[in-house]
Structure 1
Amino acid sequence: MAKSRFEYVRTYEQDQVLLPNTYIVIRLDGRGFHRFSAHYGFAKPNDSRALNLMNKSAVSLMKQISDVCGAYGQSDEYSFVLQRRCRLFDRREAKLVSTFASTFTAYYQFYWHDYFPDQPLVASMLPSFDARAVQYPSLAELRDYFSWRQADCHINNLYNTSFWTLIIKGGQTEKEAEHTLMGSNSADKNELLFSRFGINYNNEDAMFRKGTMLIRDISGAPLQTQNPSQKDHIALQKKSKRQVEREEKKRNKAEIVESHDDIIGDNFWRESYKWLS
């Protein structure tokens, strides 16, 4: 870059660098998606086309950014977890959140026609996503984060399924449905769905009830040390450029596995997963 007397303005730029040796979670949320989904007539309470479009966009982002080792999505949000040793953009927060938000938005718009072929996007109502970065120091907090998001998915979906069933099948207005569900707990909602409409909530699509987990399956890759020592850090720093490039190519070629399983219970977290390496 050429030098000039105006270059001093760069001193006003401030970079927030995220802490080393922490898991970074980048969570994306749809911007104004209530209006967006209403405009394009998304099915209620769940539109499988929209959810599969979110999953397709997330998989595409993971294929492009190899530092992402796993992701969880529900509704109009997706959370991507980066390796503890991730050095992408030197862990600068602004670069990370802007890249993830813009890349995911680009993929969502690119694949839109594949899932909504009869509803072209219009300039006055385009999809966009914002992002935030959160750091977690250990696997325990990371597990609780994903458990929190799946619990949120269950609570919201059970409410939405009950709410829209009362409207679509029960003939209630939105205000009446809100009043019917006021103060109800999960057991009440399950009973309402089964006794009044013959719906067993547990038989609803697992993607609706539990969201989607994406894992980068690196078979044969060494497990990441959960509590790396100073020696581990030195070893990582001494990796040659060629070693780093080989590892990145392996990660890029790794299969991304999609599941709709329980990620709160111990079974999912029983081992140190290679996908976190």
Structure 2
Amino acid sequence: MANSEYGYVRNFEQGDALPPSNWIVVRIDGRGFSKLCKKYNFEKPNDRRALDLMNAVATEVVRSFVDIVLAYGQSDEYSFVFHESTGLFERRAAKLATSVATAFTAEYCMQWSTFLPDQPLARPYPTFDGRCVCYPKHSILRDYLCWRQADCHINNLYNTTFWNMVLKGGMSTTEAEQALKGTVSSDKNEILFSRFGINYNSEPEAYKKGTVVYRLYVKDSCVNGSLKPENTGDKVPDTASKTQLEKERKRKQKAQIVIDHPDIIGDAFWTAHPYILASKRGQDHGE
């Protein structure tokens, strides 16, 4: 940038680099999505087309940012986990948050017609905001993801019960809200089963557990007719050369991106995919 008498204004910019050796979560949320759902008549309590759109968009964001090791989404939000060793945008919070949020917004609008072809998108267009949060340990990062999945279950159980009471039970929204005050999970399960014949456990996993998007690394050869996951994950040598870093980037770009709805509160998912939270030194777990 050329020097001039006006260059002093740069001194007003504030540094916002996030601390090193922290896992960075960029969480995006839809702005005004209650109005959007009403405007486009989304199905209640869940519109599978809208959820599939969110998941397709998240997949493209993961594909675009190779330092994202996992994304978790529910409703109109998605959390993108950047590896603790990422140096993207010099770890500047504003750059990370705005880059992910704008990429998500653009993809959402561009892919809208694929999933909702009978509902042309019109102004005001959907937008998403973003924020960055740092987590210094694997255990805390996992607790964050557990929190989001638990929130998904709580919200979906409530919404499933609420909207069945309104749409099938003939109650007003106010009456349904009052009737559900003070109820616990078992009460809502009983209402669904006794009044509407719905076994909540049989509801789609995507609704109950949300969605996980991650890379699956596979070797060139097949084992017993199926692809065998690699265990190398997202580790990068401490003294990686530019050539090594470029090879690592290309390896991530070629990896299969998986959309799944597993339980991430328990250990089974993480045991099966230890490379997701592997440190850059290749450790599967540990702080």
Q: Report the TM-score when normalising by structure 2.
A: 0.90
**Structure 2 equivalent of residue 276 of structure 1:** 277
Q: Distance in 2 between matches of 1:162 and 1:195?
A: 12
Tell me whether 1:222 sits opposite 2:218 in the alignment. no
Deviation of the 1:271 alpha carbon: 6.1
Tell me whether 1:158 sits opposite 2:157 in the alignment. yes
Q: Is the 8 A contact 1:218 1:275 kept in 2?
A: no
Q: Distance in 1 between matches of 2:90 and 2:66?
A: 15
% identical equivalent positions: 51
Q: Distance in 1 between matches of 2:164 and 2:60?
A: 34
Count of residue pairs brought into register by the alignment: 267
- Give the unaligned 5+ runs of structure 1: 226-231
1:5-37 per-residue CA deviation (whole Å, 9 max, x = no partner) reads 111111111121111111111111101111111
Amino acid in the other structure paired with 2:174: K
1:268 alignment partner, SS class: helix
State how 1:2-13 maps to structure 2 within 5 Å. Answer: 2-13=2-13
Deviation of the 1:126 alpha carbon: 0.9
**Structure 1 equivalent of residue 98 of structure 2:** 98
Q: Distance in 2 between matches of 1:261 and 1:169?
A: 30
Deviation of the 1:143 alpha carbon: 1.0
Amino acid in the other structure paired with 1:81: V
Q: Is the 8 A contact 1:143 1:269 kept in 2?
A: no
1:109-164 per-residue CA deviation (whole Å, 9 max, x = no partner) reads 010000111111112x2100011111111111111111100000000000000000
Q: Distance in 1 between matches of 2:23 and 2:2?
A: 38
- Give the unaligned 5+ runs of structure 2: 219-229, 279-287
Deviation of the 1:276 alpha carbon: 2.7
**Structure 1 equivalent of residue 147 of structure 2:** 148
Q: Distance in 2 between matches of 1:250 and 1:221?
A: 13
Q: Is the 8 A contact 1:113 1:119 kept in 2?
A: yes
**Structure 2 equivalent of residue 228 of structure 1:** none
Q: Distance in 2 between matches of 1:210 and 1:145?
A: 14
Deviation of the 1:268 alpha carbon: 1.9
Deviation of the 1:275 alpha carbon: 2.3
1:214 alignment partner, SS class: strand
Q: What RMSD over aligned residues (CA atoms) do the two structures have, in Å?
A: 1.5
**Structure 1 equivalent of residue 256 of structure 2:** 255
**Structure 1 equivalent of residue 54 of structure 2:** 54
State how 1:113-152 maps to structure 2 within 5 Å. Answer: 113-123=113-123, 125-152=124-151
Q: Distance in 1 between matches of 2:65 and 2:270?
A: 24
Tell me whether 1:72 sits opposite 2:82 in the alignment. no
Q: Report the TM-score when normalising by structure 1.
A: 0.93
**Structure 1 equivalent of residue 206 of structure 2:** 207
Amino acid in the other structure paired with 1:241: K
